[in-house]
């Protein structure tokens, strides 16, 4: 082969070498690469009416005497959307009478939450406030002692009449046990032109047991998940395996155009 032909073949090989080396790398990257997912989310339109949280005062007062236990004691106020307010109270109370004397335990909840109804759409002249309440929990008693629960909520405007909602009160004694899952409402009022309002919510759980000589299991009011030590519960627990993720007293306020 002449020197000129040999040089032409060498130049042609060098020119094609980068392409031959790059091709497998490009194929590997395409093979192993993850697909690109593009998600397009359309922004939701602004609500016609909304609720604006204001000043809040919440208190939980335990009252305990003798051998007893209280747990939880939480007041949780959330706003999952612009026109909804959810207030939840959770707690437990257990009392154990002994030869040393009687026992009592209770938790008293109080919430005062100010809020304002805002009319965000000029075409809307007023809003309707809708309130509903649920209470979920367990009451236990044994040979002696008792346990109970009660709760209520009200919405009051700066002027005029408001509305009140009250969940059923329950009590057990003398070996009774009760699973509670109650709902009240909805009830509603019209807020003409918006304005300032106030939610007042109260809740109470309690247990008591007299002085006893012989050993006996403790009465309990359980309205909070994870706040009651299993040692306080009988081995023959009547609610074994029950779902407890939503225990407590919950009030929901929703504002909609009127």
Q: Are 247 and 220 within 8 A, CB to CB?
A: no
Mean pLDDT within 129-145: 93
Cα separation, 86 vs 132, whole angstroms = 10
Residue 215 scores a pLDDT above 80: no
Q: What is the pLDDT of residue 172?
A: 96
How many CB atoms lie under 10 A from the CB of residue 27? 10
Q: What is the pLDDT of residue 12?
A: 46
Mean pLDDT within 42-60: 85
Residue 21 scores a pLDDT above 50: no
Residue 36 scores a pLDDT above 90: no
Q: For residue 232, give the 3-state DSSP assignment.
A: helix
Q: What is the pLDDT of residue 173?
A: 94
231 secondary structure, DSSP code: G
Cα separation, 218 vs 213, whole angstroms = 13
Mean pLDDT within 83-104: 93
- The angle formed by the CA atoms of residues 228, 230 and 234, to the nearest 5 degrees, is 115
pTM (two decimals): 0.80
pLDDT, tens only, 175-213: 899 999 999 999 998 877 778 999 999 999 999 999 988
Q: HEC string of 171-228?
A: EEECCCEEEEEEEEEEEEEEEECCEEEEEEEEEEEEEEECCCCCCCCCCEEEECCCCC
């Amino acid at each position: 082969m002449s020197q000129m032909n040999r040089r032409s073949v060498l130049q042609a090989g060098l020119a094609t070498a980068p392409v031959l080396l790059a091709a497998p790398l490009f194929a590997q990257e395409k093979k192993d690469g993850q697909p690109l997912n593009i998600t397009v989310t359309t922004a939701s339109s602004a609500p016609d009416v909304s609720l604006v949280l204001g000043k809040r005062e919440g208190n939980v007062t335990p009252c305990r005497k003798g051998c007893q236990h209280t747990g939880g004691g939480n007041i949780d106020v959330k706003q999952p959307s612009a026109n909804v307010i959810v207030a939840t109270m959770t707690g437990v109370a257990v009392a154990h009478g002994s030869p040393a004397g009687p026992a009592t335990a209770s938790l008293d909840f109080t919430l005062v939450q100010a809020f304002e109804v805002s009319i965000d759409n000029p075409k809307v002249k007023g809003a309707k406030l809708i309130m509903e309440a649920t209470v979920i929990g367990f009451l236990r008693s044994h040979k002696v002692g008792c346990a109970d629960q009660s709760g209520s909520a009200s919405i009051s405007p700066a002027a005029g009449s408001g509305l009140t909602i009250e969940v059923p009160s329950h009590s057990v004694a003398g070996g009774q046990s009760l699973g509670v899952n109650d709902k009240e409402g909805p009830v509603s009022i019209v807020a003409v032109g918006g304005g300032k309002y106030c939610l007042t919510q109260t809740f109470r759980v309690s247990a008591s047991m007299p002085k006893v000589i012989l050993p006996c299991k403790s009465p309990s009011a359980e309205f909070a998940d994870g706040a009651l030590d299993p040692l306080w519960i009988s081995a023959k627990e009547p609610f074994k395996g029950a779902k407890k993720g939503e225990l407590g007293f919950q009030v929901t306020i929703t504002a909609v155009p009127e």
